[in-house]
Structure 1
Amino acid sequence: EETEVAPPSGKKKILVLGSGPIRIGQGIEFDYCSVHAVWALQKLGCETVIINNNPETVSTDFDTADRLYFEPLTPEDVTGVVEAEKPDYAIVQFGGQTAINLAAHLEKLGVPILGTPAWSIDAAEDREKFDVILEKCGIPRPAGHTVMTEEEAVKAADELGYPVLVRPSYVLGGQGMEIAYKESDVREFMQVITRNKVENPVLVDKYMMGREIEVDAICDGDDILIPGIMEHFERAGVHSGDSISIYPSINIEKKHKDTLVRYTESLAKNLAVLGLVNIQFVLYNDQIYVIEVNPRSSRTVPYISKVTGVPMVDLATRCMFGEKLRDMGCGTGLHPESDHYAVKVPVFSFQKLRDLDTQLGPEMKSTGEVLGVAKSFREALLKGLTGAGFKMKKKGAVLISVRDSDKQEAIRIGERFEALGFDIYATSGTANVLNRHMVATNAIRNVDEPSPNIIDLIESGKIDYVIATSVKGRHPELGSVHIRRTAVERAIPCLTSMDTVSALLRCLEGDIKIENCEMIDINSI
């Protein structure tokens, strides 16, 4: 049966690459995009062939596409399908990074890529090619260097000034990406990255702790449509998949929105994008910088499609066949903003992943997400946090252990918890700062000190929230990792970003209760 191919139907045959097995960084969102693309292609009168090997997705249902190949997404297996089916075109931009990485291989096999060409995909990943495009567009980005070895990385970090972002290219979900605050961090991260043979260069960028902004857009070659601009609650440095994401944005001025639209249009045209593009920006010192461009669908496409009513995948697929946005009746530029707030909150599986440090950073760790929709931002946030599993206790005890750079922020956080009536516990350094600033705090012994210490306190059941931003580590024996793991194993909410703490407090300080929140029919907005 595997060698049998249906006789020609006379229709155009389109090969759609799925996203492969679901894992952290690549989830069901890309399956949503693949399936909606198949439906759009069928409406356009095409025959569809899907390659995907994930049994838990809709794309591998027997009746989704005309032909399903349950094969791994590797060059060898894709070659076999191409030789058997002889498709007229292939679409790779809906299967995430896995599918995108096969674009060049498909072109070598003589299968034309529908949508954004393979050279453009490469230009978005290749630092030198991307820099040329940014310079042509006049768009700034954080200063950075391309390196291949540990010594080159150390030299680049010294030139840029710490902190720096160290990341491999052509990866998914920020895999292997870390923020380095000193030379020993750079050496440690480079040893991890280069443990396997490095074929693609490693990028070392200046780290800017600004406000991160995400834009998904559709480009038809002439015009763009941006359904909405999403703002991350956590500052840059936390992976977009692990951040609380807000639409419409609440802190971005109109002048910056105009800049974002202009930059998005310029990048989409210069990268010859046809279909979807995802761009991540950072707003730092009143200036917009571009962090990265992904000429493909992203994990936010289903979210922004649902809350704006713009069927992004359907429109993008039609653009690939030469239709223009102006003729589809959906408008161009920035789509009018919704009068409802939609807050995406990540969900984690830390209890199931033993010994993993729960500290959030540029490498993605979330395994799901929930969406809170309401007429007010605070109510949407409350719905999102509750859906993500937060118990939202308004009284009790909080434990604070933060790194030196967060201690000034911890004072305001402590004051807000104290005003709510919480008892505050903290490790010696943090307790000292809080008490000096008139926030009544109980000092407790650290992990490496005799009992009763911080671990005993967490295990006692007295603590309702743990705030732990102290040193991040790959080794479970580190004290800070031990604190966070103990909290997770006792099912105590453990917050590792001061912005997430602020989001939680925003809900606790309000008088809204989840049972009083209005139910919203997402189809009506």
Structure 2
Amino acid sequence: MITPAPEMSSEARNLARKISREKLLEAKQNGFSDCQLAYIFSAKEEHFRELRKACGIESVFKTVDTCAAEFDAKTPYHYSSYEEENESVSSDRKKVIILGGGPNRIGQGIEFDYCCVQAVFALREAGYETIMVNCNPETVSTDYDIADKLYFEPLTFEDTIRIIEHEQPLGVIVSFGGQTPLKLSSRLDEAGITILGTSSKGIDLAEDRKKFGAILRELEIPHPDYDTAVSFEEAQEITNRIGYPVLVRPSYVLGGRAMKIIYSDDSLKEYVDQALFISEKYPLLIDRFLETAVEFDIDAIADSTDCVVSGIMQHVEAAGIHSGDSTSILPYHNISPSAIATMKEYTKRLAKRLEVIGLMNVQYAVQNDKVFVIEVNPRASRTVPFVGKATAVPVVRIATRVMLGEKLCDLRKEYRLADCDELGMKHLAIKEPVFPFSKFVKSGIYLGPEMRSTGEAMSLAYHFPEAFAKAYQAANMALPLSGTVFISVNDRDKNDKIIQIARDLYRIGFDLVATSGTQKFLNEHGIDCKKVFKVGEEGRPNIFDTIRLGKIDFVINTPLGEQALNDEESIGAASVTSGVPFVTTIEAAEASVQAIDALRKEEFGVKSLQEYAAYRHQ
């Protein structure tokens, strides 16, 4: 057994009596983390770490020679191991560590890696040695020639604190790698590590639902009704109070993982029963879902006294679709100036109250011209690369310099940052998600709060219809110029919008077919439309058969509610397997019709990003 030292805590001394130094070293050499060992011995991770350090058991770093010993490697990378010799030599240069995004997964991908790499470039220009910590070989940040040093390590407290102790940087950046490194900020702060950018306190205020709610009330900023629950009974009480539908999700989710829109008590109970982990520390988050709202993403850069709104992106799809799956328009399209002014004002209030230093992202919902805050992320968002390229402004590099202590008011002059929307954009940019539905047909195609896209395309133009048409082409979705359109909309969408869409399609020369309810509605408004049987309705061929027979060229289908979404999945599957483009919201249908009209009328020109941004240098 290990002889307890007098300076050790009582908890660490108790652990010392349960395990020998030899067994502890053997466990570490076999890959057991402090967290795993603490669980095995019913202890806390910090006490196991204390015991390990008291025993002199520390990892060392081995070098991967990127030049295979042919000549000296200027940018080697390292991994940790419980051996004897440490091959990583710490320099005496001023240095900064950047924590990456960890493993790639749906909802957390290369957008954050882009931010990390841009930060490396900014730090290098400022004269800092750059040290990258990440464990994903499929990213640019882990290329051997990006950072001055690379540590190929997991994004855990145990691994990152060891690197920090060895390198002794001036500070650590946690806000460019998404949610994974952000969760380490409080523990690093408690360990006395300097966090560059927004403090761990500001991060916690935004992440903790109750604290954030108190801030919104303090700032008099509206938000959808919400609460937290740790059991079905608590969740049911909340839904009885705020009403269905509700958006339910676990705490600290990535990419909307396991988020769901719930319409009934039965579905709520099923969700709670299937939830993997709910506790007082990680409760279930329940929000009133604003079904008819339009969502916006706002990216901003802030310091202690100033805030620049770098992008206001309007989602084409209505509220409820994950921001990573939404088609986004920059700048906004057809929204009242008062709503835009309100969102900008709320963004600046939140940046000041949370003491944001660097990047932040705010998501809003606008319903009947009233603005609601959905959430605030005091970090880089997945929209940052899109905003940077669309505006030709190096958003991440500016934010990095702010995090290093430079003032935003000085950087405004250097980068010509106009104090207006979208940094003075004179063109239009659209971000179009790319989905894997053709590879995973049975996964279902209807979008919701859980992110499902695996990539995105971007288009630029001076007018909305051209930009939208280009975005479809870039995402490999060929819009038809003639043929037959199938329309089936929910009762809420049987309004003036679908009437105008149908009339525009008929004017262009398309034939229209629809399910019975939609056909009756369109016929009543003087639009010639033929009936087709629903899936499951008596009579053949139904719409599934018709799509599979190649008789449909475009699908507009907007199911509403839980049962409708389930019933209509077969239409989506048939569209995917038959290569028929489809839209699932009325907003996307409007934009698609405008794009089809533009495609029929004109040939589109091509310009480089630099040509679109030429006005910045005039």
Q: Same fold (TM over 0.5)?
A: yes
Alpha-carbon shift at residue 279 of structure 1 (Å): 0.5
Query: Please, which moves more after superposition, 29-38 or 309-318?
Result: 309-318
- Please say if 1:493 is aligned against 2:581: yes
Alpha-carbon shift at residue 386 of structure 1 (Å): 1.5
Q: Quote the residue 2:184 is aligned against.
A: 102
Contact 2:558 2:585 in 1 (8 A): yes
Alpha-carbon shift at residue 422 of structure 1 (Å): 1.9
Residue number among 216, 219, 222 corresponding to 1:140 in the alignment: 222
Q: Quote the residue 1:468 is aligned against.
A: 557
The structure with the larger Rg is 2
Query: Please, which moves more after superposition, 294-303 or 448-457?
Result: 448-457
Contact 1:33 1:302 in 2 (8 A): yes
Contact 1:103 1:113 in 2 (8 A): yes
Q: Structure 1 counterpart of 2:555, which letter?
A: V
Q: Quote the residue 1:375 is aligned against.
A: 462
- Please say if 1:522 is aligned against 2:609: yes
Mapped to 1, the partners of 2:273 and 2:514 lie a distance apart of 34
Query: Please, which moves more after superposition, 64-73 or 428-437?
Result: 428-437
Residue number among 405, 424, 445 corresponding to 2:533 in the alignment: 445
Residue number among 82, 106, 113 corresponding to 2:195 in the alignment: 113
Q: Quote the residue 2:432 is aligned against.
A: 345
Alpha-carbon shift at residue 472 of structure 1 (Å): 6.6
Mapped to 2, the partners of 1:258 and 1:473 lie a distance apart of 35
CA separation of 1:475 and 1:469: change in aligned 2, threshold 3 A: closer
Mapped to 2, the partners of 1:399 and 1:101 lie a distance apart of 46
Alpha-carbon shift at residue 500 of structure 1 (Å): 0.8
Q: Quote the residue 1:417 is aligned against.
A: 505
Q: Quote the residue 2:4 is aligned against.
A: none
Alpha-carbon shift at residue 253 of structure 1 (Å): 3.3
- Please say if 1:355 is aligned against 2:437: no
Alpha-carbon shift at residue 411 of structure 1 (Å): 3.8
SS in 1 for 2:105: coil
Alpha-carbon shift at residue 258 of structure 1 (Å): 2.6
Mapped to 2, the partners of 1:483 and 1:214 lie a distance apart of 31
Contact 1:237 1:361 in 2 (8 A): yes
Counting only pairs closer than 5 Å after superposition, residues 217-256 of structure 1 correspond to structure 2 as 217-256=300-339
Mapped to 2, the partners of 1:159 and 1:236 lie a distance apart of 21
Alignment deviations for residues 469-488 of structure 1 (CA, whole Å, 9 cap, x no partner):
22576999x43112211211
Query: Please, which moves more after superposition, 79-88 or 481-490?
Result: 79-88
Q: Structure 1 counterpart of 2:588, which letter?
A: T
Contact 2:236 2:265 in 1 (8 A): yes
Q: Structure 1 counterpart of 2:480, which letter?
A: K
Residue number among 191, 195, 220 corresponding to 2:276 in the alignment: 195
Alignment deviations for residues 95-121 of structure 1 (CA, whole Å, 9 cap, x no partner):
011121222232344322111111221
Mapped to 1, the partners of 2:419 and 2:229 lie a distance apart of 37
Contact 1:223 1:332 in 2 (8 A): no
Residue number among 334, 356, 363 corresponding to 2:420 in the alignment: 334
Q: Structure 2 counterpart of 1:244, which letter?
A: T
Residue number among 362, 371, 383 corresponding to 1:279 in the alignment: 362
| Number of positions where the alignment pairs a residue of Structure 1 with one of Structure 2 | 522
Mapped to 1, the partners of 2:520 and 2:147 lie a distance apart of 63
Mapped to 2, the partners of 1:254 and 1:425 lie a distance apart of 38
Q: Quote the residue 1:268 is aligned against.
A: 351
Contact 1:174 1:364 in 2 (8 A): yes
More RCO (CA 8 Å, sep 6+)? 1
Contact 1:431 1:443 in 2 (8 A): yes
Alpha-carbon shift at residue 239 of structure 1 (Å): 1.6
Q: Quote the residue 1:456 is aligned against.
A: 545
Q: Structure 2 counterpart of 1:358, which letter?
A: I
SS in 2 for 1:306: helix
Q: Quote the residue 1:385 is aligned against.
A: 472
Contact 1:96 1:298 in 2 (8 A): yes
Mapped to 2, the partners of 1:258 and 1:455 lie a distance apart of 46
Mapped to 2, the partners of 1:314 and 1:212 lie a distance apart of 27
Q: Quote the residue 2:14 is aligned against.
A: none
Mapped to 2, the partners of 1:360 and 1:513 lie a distance apart of 31
Alignment deviations for residues 164-216 of structure 1 (CA, whole Å, 9 cap, x no partner):
22222311222222222333333333334x23344412222222222222111
Alpha-carbon shift at residue 371 of structure 1 (Å): 1.2
Residue number among 135, 154, 166 corresponding to 1:53 in the alignment: 135
Contact 1:247 1:342 in 2 (8 A): yes
Residue number among 341, 356, 371 corresponding to 1:288 in the alignment: 371
- Please say if 1:507 is aligned against 2:598: no
Mapped to 2, the partners of 1:347 and 1:151 lie a distance apart of 39
Alignment deviations for residues 325-370 of structure 1 (CA, whole Å, 9 cap, x no partner):
1122244743542111111111111112242121112221111111
Mapped to 2, the partners of 1:113 and 1:374 lie a distance apart of 40
Alpha-carbon shift at residue 235 of structure 1 (Å): 1.9
Alignment deviations for residues 415-451 of structure 1 (CA, whole Å, 9 cap, x no partner):
3322222222223333333333333333222322454
Alpha-carbon shift at residue 296 of structure 1 (Å): 0.4
Query: Please, which moves more after superposition, 28-37 or 144-153?
Result: 144-153
CA separation of 1:6 and 1:70: change in aligned 2, threshold 3 A: closer
Q: Quote the residue 2:33 is aligned against.
A: none
Contact 2:418 2:424 in 1 (8 A): no
TM-score by length of 1: 0.93
Query: Please, which moves more after superposition, 495-504 or 13-22?
Result: 13-22
Mapped to 1, the partners of 2:427 and 2:463 lie a distance apart of 7
Mapped to 1, the partners of 2:177 and 2:564 lie a distance apart of 33
SS in 2 for 1:60: coil
Contact 2:247 2:259 in 1 (8 A): yes
Mapped to 2, the partners of 1:286 and 1:497 lie a distance apart of 20
Mapped to 2, the partners of 1:84 and 1:427 lie a distance apart of 67
CA separation of 1:334 and 1:176: change in aligned 2, threshold 3 A: farther
Alpha-carbon shift at residue 297 of structure 1 (Å): 0.3
Mapped to 2, the partners of 1:43 and 1:66 lie a distance apart of 12
Identical aligned pairs, as a percentage?
44
Residue number among 193, 203, 207 corresponding to 1:125 in the alignment: 207
CA separation of 1:505 and 1:219: change in aligned 2, threshold 3 A: same
Query: Please, which moves more after superposition, 159-168 or 214-223?
Result: 159-168
Mapped to 1, the partners of 2:215 and 2:404 lie a distance apart of 26
SS in 1 for 2:91: coil
Contact 1:396 1:463 in 2 (8 A): yes
Q: Quote the residue 2:520 is aligned against.
A: 432
Mapped to 2, the partners of 1:450 and 1:23 lie a distance apart of 43
SS in 2 for 1:355: helix
SS in 2 for 1:509: helix
Gaps of 5+ in 1: none
Mapped to 1, the partners of 2:418 and 2:545 lie a distance apart of 58
CA separation of 1:230 and 1:471: change in aligned 2, threshold 3 A: closer
Alpha-carbon shift at residue 512 of structure 1 (Å): 5.3
Contact 2:250 2:278 in 1 (8 A): no
CA separation of 1:513 and 1:103: change in aligned 2, threshold 3 A: farther
Counting only pairs closer than 5 Å after superposition, residues 159-198 of structure 1 correspond to structure 2 as 159-192=241-274, 194-198=275-279
CA separation of 1:175 and 1:289: change in aligned 2, threshold 3 A: same
